[in-house]
Amino acid sequence: MKTVLIILIILFVAACAPNYEQIKDQVDQKSLVTPETQKPAEVIKPQNDLSIKLIKSEEFYQMGNTFMRKKTEGKFIKVYLELTNTGKTPLRLLDPSYFLVDNEDRIFERVDGDSLYIADGLNFGEQLQPGLNIKGAIVFELPKDAIGLGFVVTQYEEVVAAIPLNAAGETKIIGSDNTLRQKQDEAMDEIYDQSQDQWNEIMEDSQSQWNDMIEKNSAQWEEAINGN
């Protein structure tokens, strides 16, 4: 039974693995269009009711926060996307898949768990309602010498788009992605502000109660003195 389970797991992993040769052949056949023929952030429409807009890209060598940080000896490329459901029913974002390809025909997949290190990650499997859109980013890890990058979108192992990454403008070099740390800092600032407001309310209530008690006691003392 254990042997059968292991075989099934292997078969499942193999079935889910991208067919890189097929992707490469299709990219070669399509060829990357030039920025002159591809408008910046032009909408990519896979074979369903999902439209994808390439917004911008950034390059850095580390991401995360103080406690959870990921570094590379190469470079990370962060691609910002906007996804829109143009249909009439909800979409589950299980497909399409995204890749980068360089001028040496090397294919790069999205970094596993990239959403753990950035604040604006695009979540795999998220549901998108009709007429709505979401914005998010995906991260790729590449060697430093990877140039001439193309952004590739596949659906059901078919290449539906292969465009230059710089169609959305030149990749901005930022050194380090600190979006996660910034988001956590903002959350801590908000918690601090809320705590400060609560503390001020407590102090104001305490001061009010103290003033009431002083006023009441003063009246009683005054009564006692006048009575004597």
pTM beyond 0.85: the answer is: no
Report the pLDDT value the prediction gives residue 62, as an integer from 0 to 100: 95
> 72: pLDDT confidence band, cut at 50, 70 and 90?
very high
What is the structure's pLDDT at 13?
36
196 belongs to a structural domain? no
In a domain, 208, yes or no: no
- In a domain, residue 100? The reply is yes
Q: What CATH number is attached to the domain comprising 38?
A: 2.60.40.1240
- Is 60 exceeded by the pLDDT of residue 149? yes
Q: For residues 27 and 18, what is the distance between their CA atoms, to the nearest angstrom?
A: 14
Our count of domains for the chain comes to: 1
Residue 12 lies in a domain: no
Main-chain phi, psi angles of 203, to 5 degrees:
-65, -40
Query: 95 in a domain, yes or no?
Result: yes
Domain span at residue 114 reads 30-184
pLDDT at 81 over 70: yes
Tell me whether residue 15 is in a domain: no
Structural domain includes residue 147: yes
Question: Which of the pair, 210 or 42, is modelled with greater confidence?
Answer: 210
Report pLDDT for 173. 94
